[in-house]
Structure formats: structure tokens, C-alpha cells
Amino acid sequence: MRSPPTSPFPLGSLALAALLACERPSAGESALPETTGLARTADAPAPAASDDALLAAWSGPYGGVPAFDRMDLATLEGATTEAIRRHLAELETIAADRAPPSFANTIVAMERSGRALDRLETFYGIWASNLSTPEFREIQERLATKFSEYESQVVQNERLFNRIKAVHDGAEIKGRSPAEQRLVKLIQDRFAREGAALDGPKKARYAEIQTRLAELHTRFGNNVLADEEGIVHFLKEAQLAGLPPSVKAAAAAEATARNRAGEFAITNTRSSIDPFLTYAEDRGLREQVWRAFYSRGDNNDAHDNKAVIAEILRLRDERVGLLGYQNYAQWRLEDRMAKTPERALELMMTVWPAAIARVKQEVRDMQAVADKEAGKAKRAKFAVAPWDYRYYADKVRLAKYDLDSDEVKHYLQLDKLREAMFMVAGELFGFDFTPLPADAKVPVFHADVKVWEVKDRRSGRVVGLWYLDPFARPGKRSGAWATSYRGHTTIDSSPLVLAANNSNFLKAAPGEAVLVSWDDAETFFHEFGHALHALASNVDYPTLNGGVRDYTEFQSQLLERWLFTDRVIDRYLVHDKTGAPMPKALVAKIERAANFNQGFATAEYLASALIDLKLHTADPEGLDPDKFERETLTALGMPDAVVMRHRTPQFGHIFAGEGYAAGYYGYMWADVLTADAAEAFVRAPGGYYDPTLAQALVSNLFAPRNAVDPAEAYRAFRGRDPEVAALLRDRGFPAPKAAKPKK
């Protein structure tokens, strides 16, 4: 299931926003719109509605926890109206202050404002991602307009902007700390980038565009969702040849849940089609399942997204034109680590030829297996097509590396992986995780959710809580993601962080361990990296918890590396039946196979990232998304056997919100940092558990979040800028002789 936008607050809470990181491109995923804008943390002057469960200050242990046991969807719309009203009133009070603008009466006051809306956003996020229903989605469509109007009202408050600008330009700020100076600049730039400096008709047009875009983003997400939920392939046992028992069992459970017991359901979601395409022997069925998935939003019916895309692109271009930018990507990347579309494109085009060359080798290997099979069965030969890629890749994997993903799975037990993550968090961050006792007064929104207390080992100080919602269920969006119900600040009543991880593992039969794939295990570590990034924060102001999109995936991607360290392998990757640790021979096989299929993975990702950036630098007038996609891919020399990971009509990262728009490249940007930082650990005396380097990692790259410029933070950690050659080496691609270090 592709998610509808989770957070409706493009200008809303930066604090939470930033922590709403995530989505790996290589695992189940969906886009969370990025929120940019004001941070809100302080309590509102509480009027009568304060007893509303969605708005009230959180009570209970740990500095207060969300009242997930008191969520009532019927109150959502009213509570949203009230939360918005309160925040606007708070900002108006700041704007109308008679005293001259100062850091305290303007910036800090803003950082303290909007806390009711922050809290509301937490509940909203749960409904959007963890407990979605048709009723919620209807409300969401209506609220989209309301949120967009609110955001416009915030940035269009001229007196407020003038005060921010006065603080930014004034003398007082020069005496403030570097983090505080950065805070002021982030806020002032954000307002300017959102049109605060526009006047008259331009300002009105800007607001109009925002309102329409909000509707279109929601519609885009819901169209994809409709094509995911509305299409199910019901199959008979005889059609399942090749599928391992675990995949069959999951398909049987899906069918039973749809009142078709005895049949097998392949749903139109990535987590369902991936294993099917990997194992199903029936080539015709593979094609059918593949076509349904890659046609989401592209069926020329009521849920078709092509016209929605064209309008989104036109409006985005018009909007940044009002601000004086040449194209959307230029506007988008200005405050990213990459800074310009040219630098992002340069990185991608450095890697693209290597990926394409590797795909050709991979297809050659697969074609040989397919031809041999055809010969044996006296069938006609065929060229390997996109619906064959995963299937034959797995055969090559078996032949070349003798690596059976189902065998590996038996060493990847969910509970053990979680213990391994806790061990890593202990070694690197000094955090201890303890499960909350059953009588702890910490409500959860579903019986599957479990909560741990996080303590700093050295000081004994409680850092926060970690919520885990591990299992798939109807109404929960697909993939895995991290979020945060409360970020660290020192100006709030509680600095305790409430971080959460969400996955879509399939429950095991009673008495059996939950087994996951290697990819899912990496994703589990990845999302935990986001949680640790939140828990490790030491910033004072909510806005400084914010993320820089091409940088915030780095911390989580880096954490994936610890899955395959000796300590984790030896102690936690143990067989579910025998308890034996993963045999050395299997470890060696996994190592040898690590770069297997990197051509495919890199090409399917880069094709999407390149289309994203090119769509957002192109002239949108008369742009036909379908034609654009075809022509751009042809020009790039896209191999026939590979499809974009996200085709344009289903590319929720960039069209269900603005979070990754012109920013999907960010995963690779972050990958360069990851590969480069990982080399530092590999070369450290203590390897991945080197205490000195771990300390440098936490203090430079995790704790400051956005309080320090990412490029500077990285330099402080590594002593130099990251090198793209590290990425090429990491993927087993030939590194170019003159790889230019990135700035």
C-alpha cells in the first residue's frame, strides 16, 4: 500500500517534520511529505477545548505520553480547526508585540508556539500511516485544504516576517551562539522561500497555488492507494509453483482476510509482488502481476495520475517562478547539502554508466540460465523481460553464489534482530533499552505495539521511549518508516524523546519465530538508525531537530552496516530451529553475493531519481508525463530489462507531497556519505565498534541534527569531504581514475 501523505503540515512542525524521516528506496516504502516551516513546541493558552484528547498536554510518565487509548476519529476535524486557530493566535500575539523584535520575543517565542498542533499531528500521523480507514481518508482530503490555508496564513503574516527579518539582520544575533544564529537563518530563509516577501497579487496567487497543490498531492496518493487496494490476484494452489512455503502461507492469509479461504491472494503492493516475481515459475502470471503493479496510477481510469502530475508540475514551476527561481529543482536544492541540481545530476551521471554496464553483465548471466531452461524444456527462447529479472536473478544467485534467500531467512529472526540493534545502540551510543512493564501507563494505539525505555548507560538518565509497531495489517501503509512523537529540546517541559519505528513484517504461525528477508533486516536496522538519530539529539530548539533531506538518510543508511558485523552475526543471527549461529560458509557466501544485482538496484533507483530531477528542471508547459518518461529513459540508454523503481504515475515520494520532489537523488547523496564513513570504520583500529570513532560519529553526525551545517559536520567527523569513489568501490563498480572529491 502506498501511503497517503502522512503529515499534512508542509509549513507545520519542523521539529516533528524532521524526525519524520525515511524510506529506503530499496525496501518497502512510501513517501512522507517533508514539512518545512515553523517549529511549534510551547503550550497554547488553553481554552475550553483543552480536554480534547487530541490537543491536551500529554500526561503520565516520561514527561507525558500521547493518549493513544483515547483517539476518536470523530473529533479529528474539530480538533484540527482548534489547533490551527490556537497556533495562528499565538503567532499573531508575537507579531503584534509592541516591544522591538528580539531573539527571545520573536524566535524563541515562535519555537515555543503551536504545541497543540504538534500533538494533533502525532495522532493524525497514526491515522494516516498505522490505522488508515476510508473514513479517515475522506477527512484527510477535506483537511488538506485547511492545512494549506493555515500554512499560507503563517508565511503571509507580514508583521511576523518583518520581525524575523529584523532579528536576522540586527546586531543582537551576532552575540548569539552559532546554533542560534543558524536557527534564525533557517527560519528567515524558510519564510522567504515560502513566499513571505511577496507582495499583493503575487502573494495571493502563491496561496492559491499552495491550496490547489495540497489537493493534488492528496489525490495523487489516494489514486495510487486505490490501485493498490483495488487490485488483487486470486490464485489457485496449482498456479503457485516455485513459491516457498512462507510466501504461500502469506498469500493464503491474505485470501482468507478477503473471505476467499482456500485461495491465495497476491496483493498489488511491493511486499506482495516482490517475492512472487522472485519465485513464481509461471511466466504469464509474473507478467500479469508485474503489469498491474507498474501500471498503478496509469490505467486511464478514474485513478489515473497523469493529468494530476502535469498540473502539479505546472503549479510548482509557477510558484517558484514567483520567487525568482528558474525551476523547481533550483529552489528545492538551495538548502540541501547538494545545493544545486547540477551537482546532484553530476553525481548521478558519474554512477549511471557503471550501473548500466553492470546491468548488461547481469542480463547476460540471466539470459544464459533462461536459454538453458528453455532448451531443457524444449520451449521457445525469450529475451529476459522486466518481469523475469527477479526470477532469474535468484537463479543466478543460486548458481553463482549458491545463496538461497530462504536458507538465509532462518537466521534472521525478528526478536533476535531487535536485540542485535539494542546491542549496537549500547556499544555506539551508550543506550540501554528496557521493555516497559505491562502496568506502565504508556498507552499504545494497537495491541501489536510494544514500548521500550531508553536510558543513557553512563549517566543513568532516561533519554526517552522507543515504540515499535512491527506487523502488517489492513489500513497500515506498506514499507517501513520512522517517526517521532516528540523531539529533543531544552525549551520544552520535557526533553524526553518519543521515537517510533514501523514495519510490515508478517506474523508467524503460533510458536514460530518471525523470519524476515535480508533486505527487511537491513531496513529494520535502517529505521532504527532514524530512531537513534532522534534519541541522540542534543539540540535546544525544535527547528534544529529539522532534517536536511539528502543528509538525514545518511545516518540511517550507515546504521545498516552493523547488521553484518561479526558481533551481530555470531550472537544474533542464529537459526530459528537449532539456535546455531550462521555458519561461516553462509556468511562468506553472503559477503561474496553482497554486490550481486547492484546493477539492477542502482539502475532502477537512478532511473527514478534522474526522471525526478529532469521533470523538475524541464519546462512544464504542455509536458506529457508518459512521453517525457519514455523519451528521457531512451536518451539515458535505460536497459529494456529494467523498469524504474517508481514509474512517474506512482511516484508518491515526489507527487503525493513535496518531501522528495527533486530530491529522490538524496538517497544516493547520502549513500556517498555512508560508503565514505563506512570506510572510516573499516580502517579504524576497533573496526565498527571503535570507541573513539563511535564517539566522533555520535557527537558530530547524530547529536547536532541540523544545528550544524551538514558539510561542516561531516568534515569534523572525517577530516575531509566525502569521496564519490567510496560509493563506486562499495557497489563493486570500477572506480573512475580521477574521481573528483565532492565539496
Q: Active-site positions? A: 527
Residue number with CB closer to Zn ion (529 or 620): 529
- The least distance separating Zn ion from the CB of residue 480, rounded to whole angstroms, comes to 8
Q: Which of 638, 546, 406 is nearest to 7 (CA)?
A: 546
Residue facing Zn ion at closest CB distance: 22
> For the stretch 205-241, what's the b/e string if a residue is b when 16 or more beta carbons lie within 10 angstroms of its beta carbon?
ebbebbbebbebbbbbbbbbbbbbbebbbebeeebbe
User: Given CA atoms 689, 692, 693, 695 in this order, what sign does their dihedral have?
Assistant: positive
Per-residue x/- marks for Zn ion, 361-380, CB under 5 A?
--------------------
- CA-CA distance, 245 to 231, in Å (whole number)? 23
Going by C-alpha positions, the residue among 477, 484, 465 that lies closest to residue 13 is 484
Strands 264-267 and 481-486, sheet pairing: unpaired
- Between 388 and 553, name the residue whose CB sits nearer to Zn ion: 553
Give the Cα separation of 32 and 126 in Å (integer): 13
Q: According to DSSP H, which parts of 126-230 are helical?
A: 134-155, 158-169, 178-193, 200-229
CA distances in angstroms from 311 to 442, 453, 480, listed in the order given: 45, 47, 30
Contact 197, 629 (CB under 8 A): no
Minimum CB–partner distance for residue 526 and Zn ion (Å): 6
**Nearer to Zn ion (CB atom), residue 32 or residue 44:** 32
Answer for the pair 23, 36: CB distance below 8 angstroms, yes or no.
no
Q: Are 103 and 176 in contact (CB under 8 A)?
A: yes
For 718, the enclosing helix (H) or strand (E) is: helix 710-718
What is the closest distance, in whole angstroms, from the C-beta atom of residue 506 to Zn ion in the complex? 21
The size of the interface with Zn ion (CB under 5 A), counted in residues, is 3
Q: Which residue has the cell 516455485?
A: 242
**Candidates 211-219, 546-554, 620-628, 677-685; binding stretch for Zn ion (CB under 5 A):** 546-554
What are the Cα distances from residue 347, in Å, to 549, 639, 734, 740? 16, 20, 15, 10
Question: In Å, what is the CA distance from 50 to each residue of 11, 86, 120, 718?
Answer: 23, 11, 12, 48
Binding to Zn ion in span 15-74, by CB under 5 A: 22
What strand order describes the sheet that includes 481-486?
431-435, 450-456, 462-471, 497-505, 481-486
Shortest spacing between CB 505 and Zn ion, in angstroms: 17
Can you state the percent helix, strand and coil of the chain, rounding each to 5? 55, 5, 35
CB 381 within 8 A of CB 374: yes
Report how far Cα 215 is from the mean position of its chain's Cα atoms: 22
CB nearer to Zn ion: pick between 49 and 713: 713
Least distance to Zn ion from the beta carbon of 481, Å?
7
Q: Which CB, 4 or 479, lies closer to Zn ion?
A: 479
| Cell numbers linked to 183 | 536557527
Smallest gap, in angstroms, from Cβ of residue 720 to Zn ion?
Answer: 25
Residue whose CB is less far from Zn ion, 269 or 556: 556
CB of 199 to Zn ion, least distance (A): 39
Distance CA 241, CA 235 (A): 11
23 near 34, Cβ under 8 Å? no
**In 532-595, where do the E strands start and end?**
none
Residue closer to Zn ion, measured from CB, 23 or 427? 23
Q: Which residue lies nearer to Zn ion by CB, 22 or 574?
A: 22
User: Which residue type does 191 have?
Assistant: F
**Toward Zn ion, which CB reaches closer, 121 or 553?**
553
5 to 24: interface string for Zn ion, x by CB under 5 A:
-----------------x--
Q: Which stretch binds Zn ion (CB under 5 A): 203-211, 549-557, 606-614, 723-731?
A: 549-557
- Dump the DSSP string for 34-69: ---S----SPP---GGGGSTTTSPP-STTT----GG
Pairing relation of β-strands 450-456 and 462-471?
antiparallel
> H/E element holding 704?
none
Q: Coil, strand, or helix at residue 434?
A: strand
Q: How far is the CB of 554 from Zn ion (least distance, A)?
A: 9
Nearer to Zn ion, 108 or 673 (CB): 673
Nearer to Zn ion, 87 or 477 (CB): 477
Question: Based on CB atoms, which residue is closest to Zn ion, 29 or 629?
Answer: 29
Smallest distance from the beta carbon of 22 to Zn ion, in angstroms?
Answer: 3
Q: At what angle do helices 386-396 and 341-376 cross, to 10 degrees?
A: 70
CB of 439 to Zn ion, least distance (A): 34
Select the span of 285-293, 344-352, 460-468, 554-562 touching Zn ion (CB under 5 A).
Answer: 554-562
| Min separation Cβ 646 and Zn ion, Å | 15
Q: Which long-range contacts (CB under 8 A, 24 or more apart) does 576-582 make?
A: 576/410, 576/411, 576/413, 576/512, 576/513, 576/515, 577/410, 581/411, 582/411
CB of 503 to Zn ion, least distance (A): 12
Piece in contact with Zn ion (CB under 5 A), picked from 25-33, 46-54, 552-560, 730-738 = 552-560
Q: Which is nearer to Zn ion, 224 or 670 (CB)?
A: 670
Among 173-181, 422-430, 517-525, 553-561, the segment contacting Zn ion (CB under 5 A) = 553-561
Could you please report the per-residue DSSP string of 405-422? HHHHHTT-BHHHHHHHHH
Smallest gap from residue 358 Cβ to Zn ion (A): 24
Q: Return d(Cα 118, Cα 40) in angstroms, integer.
A: 6
Question: Residues 98 to 157: which contact Zn ion by CB under 5 A?
Answer: none
Is residue 556 involved in binding Zn ion (CB under 5 A)? Answer: yes
Instruction: Give the footprint of Zn ion on this chain (CB under 5 A).
Output: 22, 553, 556
